[in-house]
Amino acid sequence: MTGSDEQPSFTLAYVAGVTPGKWARKWAERMPEVPLELVQVPAADATAAVRDGDADMVLLRFPADREGLHAIPLYTETTVVVVPKDHVVAAVDEVSGEDLADDVVLHPLDDTLDWERPPGRPAIERPATTGDAIELVAAGVGLLVVPQSLARLHHRKDLTYRPLTDAPQSRVALSWPEEETTDLMEQFIGIVRGRTVNSTRGRPPTPPQEKRKRPAEAKKPAARPRAGNPRGGKRGKPRRRS
Protein backbone atom coordinates (compact mmCIF):
# COMPACT_ATOMS: atom_id res chain seq x y z
CA MET A 1 0.00 0.00 0.00
CA THR A 2 1.30 3.44 -0.89
CA GLY A 3 -1.05 5.44 1.29
CA SER A 4 -4.04 5.46 3.62
CA ASP A 5 -7.66 6.34 2.88
CA GLU A 6 -8.29 7.21 6.52
CA GLN A 7 -9.50 10.81 6.93
CA PRO A 8 -7.29 12.90 9.25
CA SER A 9 -8.94 14.13 12.44
CA PHE A 10 -7.99 16.12 15.53
CA THR A 11 -9.26 15.55 19.08
CA LEU A 12 -9.29 18.31 21.69
CA ALA A 13 -10.11 17.44 25.30
CA TYR A 14 -11.23 20.13 27.76
CA VAL A 15 -12.25 20.39 31.40
CA ALA A 16 -15.61 21.67 32.68
CA GLY A 17 -16.09 25.42 32.49
CA VAL A 18 -13.56 25.96 29.69
CA THR A 19 -15.32 26.99 26.48
CA PRO A 20 -13.39 26.03 23.32
CA GLY A 21 -16.22 27.00 20.98
CA LYS A 22 -14.59 30.12 19.47
CA TRP A 23 -11.41 28.18 18.68
CA ALA A 24 -13.42 25.30 17.23
CA ARG A 25 -15.17 27.74 14.87
CA LYS A 26 -11.82 29.15 13.74
CA TRP A 27 -10.56 25.62 13.16
CA ALA A 28 -13.58 24.80 10.97
CA GLU A 29 -12.91 27.91 8.88
CA ARG A 30 -9.22 27.23 8.37
CA MET A 31 -9.12 23.42 8.36
CA PRO A 32 -12.46 22.26 6.87
CA GLU A 33 -10.85 19.04 5.63
CA VAL A 34 -9.88 17.96 9.18
CA PRO A 35 -12.80 17.41 11.62
CA LEU A 36 -12.24 18.69 15.19
CA GLU A 37 -13.69 16.45 17.90
CA LEU A 38 -14.34 18.05 21.30
CA VAL A 39 -14.30 15.76 24.35
CA GLN A 40 -15.02 16.96 27.91
CA VAL A 41 -12.96 15.18 30.57
CA PRO A 42 -12.89 15.36 34.39
CA ALA A 43 -10.18 17.69 35.71
CA ALA A 44 -8.42 14.73 37.38
CA ASP A 45 -8.17 12.92 34.02
CA ALA A 46 -7.09 15.89 31.88
CA THR A 47 -3.38 15.07 31.59
CA ALA A 48 -4.06 11.35 31.17
CA ALA A 49 -6.18 12.15 28.10
CA VAL A 50 -3.11 13.27 26.14
CA ARG A 51 -0.60 10.92 27.78
CA ASP A 52 -2.76 7.91 26.86
CA GLY A 53 -3.43 9.18 23.33
CA ASP A 54 -7.17 9.66 23.82
CA ALA A 55 -6.77 13.30 22.70
CA ASP A 56 -4.19 15.23 20.71
CA MET A 57 -4.29 18.27 23.00
CA VAL A 58 -6.15 19.28 26.16
CA LEU A 59 -7.42 22.51 27.70
CA LEU A 60 -6.87 22.11 31.44
CA ARG A 61 -6.43 24.09 34.64
CA PHE A 62 -3.31 24.55 36.69
CA PRO A 63 -2.22 23.15 39.04
CA ALA A 64 -1.71 19.93 37.08
CA ASP A 65 1.01 17.33 36.70
CA ARG A 66 3.05 18.73 33.79
CA GLU A 67 5.76 16.06 33.66
CA GLY A 68 6.40 15.12 30.02
CA LEU A 69 3.96 17.73 28.74
CA HIS A 70 4.19 21.08 26.98
CA ALA A 71 1.86 23.75 28.35
CA ILE A 72 0.93 27.22 27.10
CA PRO A 73 -0.88 29.35 29.73
CA LEU A 74 -3.84 31.08 28.07
CA TYR A 75 -5.62 33.12 30.74
CA THR A 76 -6.23 33.44 34.49
CA GLU A 77 -9.74 33.04 35.89
CA THR A 78 -11.39 35.21 38.51
CA THR A 79 -12.13 33.35 41.76
CA VAL A 80 -15.64 33.83 43.17
CA VAL A 81 -17.73 32.71 46.12
CA VAL A 82 -21.14 31.21 45.29
CA VAL A 83 -23.90 32.16 47.73
CA PRO A 84 -27.72 32.11 47.99
CA LYS A 85 -29.27 35.29 46.60
CA ASP A 86 -30.54 36.29 50.04
CA HIS A 87 -27.08 35.98 51.64
CA VAL A 88 -25.43 39.14 52.98
CA VAL A 89 -22.54 38.68 50.52
CA ALA A 90 -24.98 39.29 47.64
CA ALA A 91 -25.30 42.93 48.76
CA VAL A 92 -21.62 43.81 48.12
CA ASP A 93 -19.39 43.96 45.03
CA GLU A 94 -16.58 41.75 46.34
CA VAL A 95 -15.44 40.01 49.53
CA SER A 96 -12.28 38.75 51.21
CA GLY A 97 -11.62 35.48 53.00
CA GLU A 98 -11.98 37.25 56.32
CA ASP A 99 -15.57 38.18 55.42
CA LEU A 100 -16.39 34.47 55.22
CA ALA A 101 -14.90 33.55 58.61
CA ASP A 102 -18.27 32.69 60.17
CA ASP A 103 -19.67 30.78 57.18
CA VAL A 104 -19.32 27.10 56.31
CA VAL A 105 -17.33 26.99 53.05
CA LEU A 106 -17.53 23.73 51.12
CA HIS A 107 -14.40 22.08 49.70
CA PRO A 108 -15.32 19.53 47.00
CA LEU A 109 -12.92 16.69 46.20
CA ASP A 110 -12.58 17.93 42.60
CA ASP A 111 -11.59 21.44 43.72
CA THR A 112 -9.40 23.17 41.12
CA LEU A 113 -7.83 25.82 43.39
CA ASP A 114 -4.39 25.32 44.88
CA TRP A 115 -5.04 25.51 48.63
CA GLU A 116 -5.32 23.05 51.47
CA ARG A 117 -8.72 24.33 52.48
CA PRO A 118 -10.91 27.37 51.75
CA PRO A 119 -11.54 30.17 54.27
CA GLY A 120 -14.41 29.97 56.75
CA ARG A 121 -15.48 26.93 58.73
CA PRO A 122 -15.09 23.49 57.11
CA ALA A 123 -18.10 21.27 56.49
CA ILE A 124 -18.39 17.90 58.24
CA GLU A 125 -17.79 16.12 54.91
CA ARG A 126 -16.31 17.18 51.59
CA PRO A 127 -18.72 16.95 48.63
CA ALA A 128 -17.59 14.58 45.89
CA THR A 129 -17.96 17.10 43.06
CA THR A 130 -18.46 20.79 42.41
CA GLY A 131 -21.96 20.01 41.16
CA ASP A 132 -22.79 18.35 44.48
CA ALA A 133 -21.43 21.37 46.34
CA ILE A 134 -23.64 23.72 44.31
CA GLU A 135 -26.68 21.71 45.39
CA LEU A 136 -25.62 22.08 49.02
CA VAL A 137 -25.22 25.85 48.62
CA ALA A 138 -28.75 26.02 47.24
CA ALA A 139 -29.94 24.00 50.26
CA GLY A 140 -28.37 26.53 52.63
CA VAL A 141 -25.66 24.17 53.91
CA GLY A 142 -22.70 26.40 53.07
CA LEU A 143 -20.88 28.54 50.49
CA LEU A 144 -18.54 27.52 47.67
CA VAL A 145 -15.37 29.10 46.22
CA VAL A 146 -14.66 28.26 42.56
CA PRO A 147 -13.31 29.78 39.33
CA GLN A 148 -15.90 32.08 37.78
CA SER A 149 -16.35 29.82 34.75
CA LEU A 150 -17.56 26.99 37.01
CA ALA A 151 -19.96 29.34 38.79
CA ARG A 152 -21.42 30.22 35.38
CA LEU A 153 -21.52 26.58 34.31
CA HIS A 154 -23.57 25.63 37.39
CA HIS A 155 -25.77 28.75 37.32
CA ARG A 156 -29.04 28.61 39.22
CA LYS A 157 -31.71 31.28 39.60
CA ASP A 158 -31.57 31.05 43.39
CA LEU A 159 -27.78 31.52 43.56
CA THR A 160 -25.34 34.31 42.75
CA TYR A 161 -21.59 34.89 43.15
CA ARG A 162 -19.12 37.63 44.02
CA PRO A 163 -15.33 37.96 43.45
CA LEU A 164 -13.13 36.75 46.31
CA THR A 165 -10.13 39.08 46.38
CA ASP A 166 -7.54 37.08 48.33
CA ALA A 167 -8.07 33.54 47.04
CA PRO A 168 -5.83 31.47 44.72
CA GLN A 169 -6.62 31.82 41.02
CA SER A 170 -6.98 29.13 38.41
CA ARG A 171 -4.99 29.33 35.14
CA VAL A 172 -6.26 27.70 31.97
CA ALA A 173 -3.61 26.23 29.68
CA LEU A 174 -3.26 24.28 26.44
CA SER A 175 -1.20 21.10 26.92
CA TRP A 176 0.16 18.22 24.81
CA PRO A 177 2.94 15.57 25.01
CA GLU A 178 6.54 16.79 24.73
CA GLU A 179 7.67 14.06 22.35
CA GLU A 180 5.74 15.33 19.35
CA THR A 181 4.29 18.55 18.04
CA THR A 182 2.52 17.80 14.76
CA ASP A 183 1.50 20.22 12.00
CA LEU A 184 -2.11 20.00 13.20
CA MET A 185 -1.00 20.88 16.73
CA GLU A 186 0.87 23.89 15.36
CA GLN A 187 -2.29 24.96 13.55
CA PHE A 188 -4.31 24.84 16.77
CA ILE A 189 -1.59 26.65 18.73
CA GLY A 190 -1.74 29.39 16.12
CA ILE A 191 -5.50 29.67 16.51
CA VAL A 192 -5.48 29.98 20.32
CA ARG A 193 -2.62 32.50 20.12
CA GLY A 194 -4.54 34.63 17.65
CA ARG A 195 -2.30 34.19 14.64
CA THR A 196 -3.88 35.22 11.37
CA VAL A 197 -4.29 32.85 8.47
CA ASN A 198 -1.44 34.69 6.72
CA SER A 199 1.00 34.16 9.59
CA THR A 200 4.40 32.98 8.39
CA ARG A 201 4.37 30.05 10.83
CA GLY A 202 2.69 27.05 9.28
CA ARG A 203 2.79 28.40 5.72
CA PRO A 204 5.22 27.17 3.08
CA PRO A 205 7.94 29.71 2.34
CA THR A 206 7.44 31.90 -0.71
CA PRO A 207 9.83 30.81 -3.47
CA PRO A 208 12.51 33.45 -4.17
CA GLN A 209 11.95 35.55 -7.25
CA GLU A 210 14.66 36.54 -9.73
CA LYS A 211 15.89 40.02 -9.05
CA ARG A 212 15.07 42.41 -11.85
CA LYS A 213 17.54 45.09 -12.79
CA ARG A 214 16.48 48.64 -12.36
CA PRO A 215 16.68 50.92 -15.44
CA ALA A 216 19.63 52.73 -13.86
CA GLU A 217 21.55 49.45 -13.73
CA ALA A 218 21.23 48.79 -17.46
CA LYS A 219 24.52 48.62 -19.37
CA LYS A 220 25.68 52.04 -20.48
CA PRO A 221 26.82 52.50 -24.10
CA ALA A 222 30.58 52.93 -24.71
CA ALA A 223 31.74 56.54 -24.89
CA ARG A 224 32.34 57.88 -28.40
CA PRO A 225 35.69 59.51 -29.27
CA ARG A 226 35.63 63.26 -29.44
CA ALA A 227 35.15 64.86 -32.85
CA GLY A 228 38.35 65.76 -34.74
CA ASN A 229 40.44 63.23 -32.89
CA PRO A 230 39.79 59.72 -34.21
CA ARG A 231 42.18 58.23 -31.67
CA GLY A 232 40.25 59.70 -28.83
CA GLY A 233 43.25 61.60 -27.48
CA LYS A 234 43.60 65.29 -26.71
CA ARG A 235 43.45 67.70 -29.63
CA GLY A 236 46.89 69.36 -30.24
CA LYS A 237 47.66 72.95 -31.42
CA PRO A 238 47.65 73.57 -35.23
CA ARG A 239 51.09 73.71 -36.82
CA ARG A 240 52.18 77.05 -38.31
CA ARG A 241 53.44 77.24 -41.91
CA SER A 242 56.89 78.76 -42.42
Mean pLDDT rounded to a whole number for the chain: 84
What type of residue sits at position 20?
P
- Contact in structure between 160 and 80 (CB atoms under 8 Å): no
Pairing verdict, β 57-62 and 171-177: antiparallel
Closest CA to 79 of 97, 99, 101, 63: 97
- Contact in structure between 153 and 17 (CB atoms under 8 Å): yes
Is the pLDDT at 211 greater than 80, yes or no?
Answer: no
- Contact in structure between 11 and 184 (CB atoms under 8 Å): no
Task: State CA 13 to chain mean position distance.
Answer: 13
Closest CA to 13 of 67, 69, 80, 78: 69
Q: What distance in Å separates the CA atoms of residue 118 and residue 136, rounded to the nearest whole number? A: 16
pLDDT given for residue 200 in this prediction: 43
Q: Mind listing the domains of the chain with CATH numbers?
A: 10-76+171-192 (3.40.190.10), 79-163 (3.40.190.10)
Which of 3-12, 125-134, 144-153, 207-216 is least confident?
A: 207-216
Encode pLDDT of 67-102 as tens digits. 899 999 999 999 999 999 999 999 999 999 999 999
pLDDT given for residue 28 in this prediction: 95
| Phi, psi dihedrals of residue 144, rounded to the nearest 5° | -140, 135
Q: What distance in Å separates the CA atoms of residue 14 and residue 50, rounded to the nearest whole number? A: 11
CB burial class (10 A; 0-12, 13-18, 19+) of residue 127? Answer: buried
pLDDT given for residue 16 in this prediction: 94
Q: What distance in Å separates the CA atoms of residue 90 and residue 70, rounded to the nearest whole number? A: 40
Q: What percent of the chain has pLDDT over 90?
A: 69
Q: What distance in Å separates the CA atoms of residue 119 and residue 95, rounded to the nearest whole number? A: 12
Mean pLDDT computed over 150-159? 96
Query: How many beta carbons lie within 10 A of that of residue 145, not counting itself?
Result: 26
